[in-house]
């Protein structure tokens, strides 16, 4: 009995050591697993076609990694840098004597007739443009300086994705063997993790596409050039924490003011605030990412708490962890109810 207890404590120490060593890459590993759950239908189709699971998994991982990496690199190199340039130009133009200061004064007078307070509008716009430029510059600098860390994280995510696609059933069997829970409980939790992970990744992508589509409609209504191009930029920017889509549709509104279309600018900025941010983040995202069995309040806590705790990856990890936690509490409550009703205890 003593040897058994000692072996148990050694097993706990071993698990703690593994968690401690993987802590710097836990987000990448979890994201890789969630991507594997999402792309499992693609992998299954390729495996049936090639009849070689290893080749099917390798193809799925490489293609998806190239698409994600290429999209992020393209966004950083084109859209963020362009936002910095546009915001800096607007800030210079809004200063006293700048090319835009007179037009802003005209807009201020037009809004004043509508009863809208416009005190220090030029200063506010200048401060907002400066904030966008500085945030964009800091983001680009952080991404550039963290290239090695990003590549290392991408490597672990790709590796985790490959292993999960190829050996998920073996991983589940191993987890069942070492878990202190009953086998059916362990399998239920792993199945919940898999289901919610797939739903969350798909919901995040769908929300980004919805924001891009709504933004493109707003750009078309406002007369912004290349609305489809900037709609795609908005969809990609939706994955950036804190500023997100603001990097695209606010400079678009400022551009309309700069070319002497204040009415269109008001429409564009109102559309961006109400539809691209308000409707998408507070209506579409909770429904796409959330779970019918999880209250809406917990969905919001998971989204914003995950963003605060994990950064960008928290938009996906937060809802997944919250859903698994709710599943654990649901299993515990079910076992307690069964015990009180006189059923057999769940554990000796």
Per residue in 1-33, pLDDT (tens digit) is: 577 677 777 777 887 887 787 777 777 888 888
* The pLDDT of residue 118: 47
Q: Rounded to an integer, what distance in angstroms lies between the CA atom of residue 237 and that of residue 206? A: 14
* The pLDDT of residue 263: 84
Element (H, E) at 11: helix 2-22
Q: Rounded to an integer, what distance in angstroms lies between the CA atom of residue 172 and that of residue 179? A: 10
Give domain limits for the chain: 25-335
In order along its 348 residues, the chain shows pLDDT tens digits of: 577 677 777 777 887 887 787 777 777 888 888 888 888 899 999 988 888 889 999 899 888 878 777 766 666 666 556 656 666 666 665 565 555 555 555 555 555 555 554 455 445 555 555 555 555 555 555 555 555 666 777 788 888 888 999 888 898 898 888 887 788 888 888 888 888 888 878 888 888 888 889 989 988 988 888 788 788 888 877 766 556 778 788 888 877 877 777 888 888 888 888 888 888 777 787 777 666 556 667 777 777 777 777 766 676 777 778 877 887 787 777 777 777 776 544 444
Q: Rounded to an integer, what distance in angstroms lies between the CA atom of residue 107 and that of residue 114? A: 11
Per-residue pLDDT reduced to its tens digit, 221-253: 888 887 887 888 888 777 665 567 787 888 888
Closest among 263, 275, 128 to 216, alpha carbons compared:
275
Q: Rounded to an integer, what distance in angstroms lies between the CA atom of residue 54 and that of residue 45? A: 13
C-alpha torsion sign, points 143, 145, 146, 151: positive
* The pLDDT of residue 283: 79
* The pLDDT of residue 345: 47
Element (H, E) at 70: helix 53-74
* The pLDDT of residue 25: 78
DSSP string, 84-125: HHHHHHHHHHHSTT-TTHHHHHHHHHHHHHTT---TTHHHHH
* The pLDDT of residue 89: 62
Angle, alpha carbons 168-197-201 (nearest 5°): 120
* The pLDDT of residue 346: 47
DSSP string, 238-266: TTSSTTTTHHHHHHHHHHHHHTT-HHHHH
Residues 194/186, Cβ–Cβ less than 8 Å:
no
Closest among 239, 238, 241 to 249, alpha carbons compared:
238
Phi, psi angle pair for 180, to nearest 5°: -75, -10
pTM of the model: 0.63
């Amino acid at each position: 009995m003593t040897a058994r207890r000692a072996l148990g404590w050694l097993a706990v120490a071993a698990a703690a050591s593994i968690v401690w060593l993987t802590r710097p890459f836990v987000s990448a590993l979890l994201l890789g697993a969630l991507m594997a759950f999402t792309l499992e239908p693609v992998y299954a189709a390729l495996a049936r076609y090639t009849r070689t699971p290893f080749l099917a998994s390798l193809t799925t991982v490489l293609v998806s990694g190239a698409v994600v990496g290429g999209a992020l690199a393209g966004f950083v190199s084109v859209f963020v840098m362009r936002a910095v340039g546009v915001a800096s130009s607007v800030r210079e133009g809004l200063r006293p004597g700048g090319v835009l200061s007179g037009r802003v004064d005209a807009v201020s007078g037009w809004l004043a007739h509508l009863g809208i307070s416009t005190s220090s509008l030029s200063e506010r716009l200048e401060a907002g443009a400066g904030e966008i430029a500085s945030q964009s510059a800091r983001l680009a600098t952080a991404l550039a300086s963290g290239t090695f860390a990003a590549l290392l994280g991408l490597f672990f995510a790709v590796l985790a994705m490959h292993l999960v696609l190829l050996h998920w059933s073996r991983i589940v069997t191993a987890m069942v063997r070492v878990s202190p829970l009953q086998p059916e409980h362990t399998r239920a939790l792993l199945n919940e993790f898999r289901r919610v992970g797939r739903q969350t990744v798909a919901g995040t992508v769908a929300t980004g596409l919805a924001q891009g589509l709504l933004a493109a409609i707003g750009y078309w209504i406002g007369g912004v050039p290349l609305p489809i191009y900037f709609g795609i930029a908005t969809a990609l920017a939706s994955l950036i924490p804190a500023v997100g889509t603001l990097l695209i549709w606010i400079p678009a509104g400022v551009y309309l003011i700069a070319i002497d279309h204040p009415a269109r600018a008001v429409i564009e900025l109102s559309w961006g605030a109400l539809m691209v941010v308000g409707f998408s983040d507070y209506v579409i995202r909770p429904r796409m990412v959330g779970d019918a069995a999880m209250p809406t309040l917990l969905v919001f806590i998971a989204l914003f708490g995950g963003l605060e705790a994990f950064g960008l990856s928290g938009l996906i990890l937060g809802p997944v962890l919250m859903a698994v936690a709710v599943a654990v509490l649901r299993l515990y409550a079910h076992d307690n109810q069964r015990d009180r009703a006189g059923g057999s205890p769940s554990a000796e």
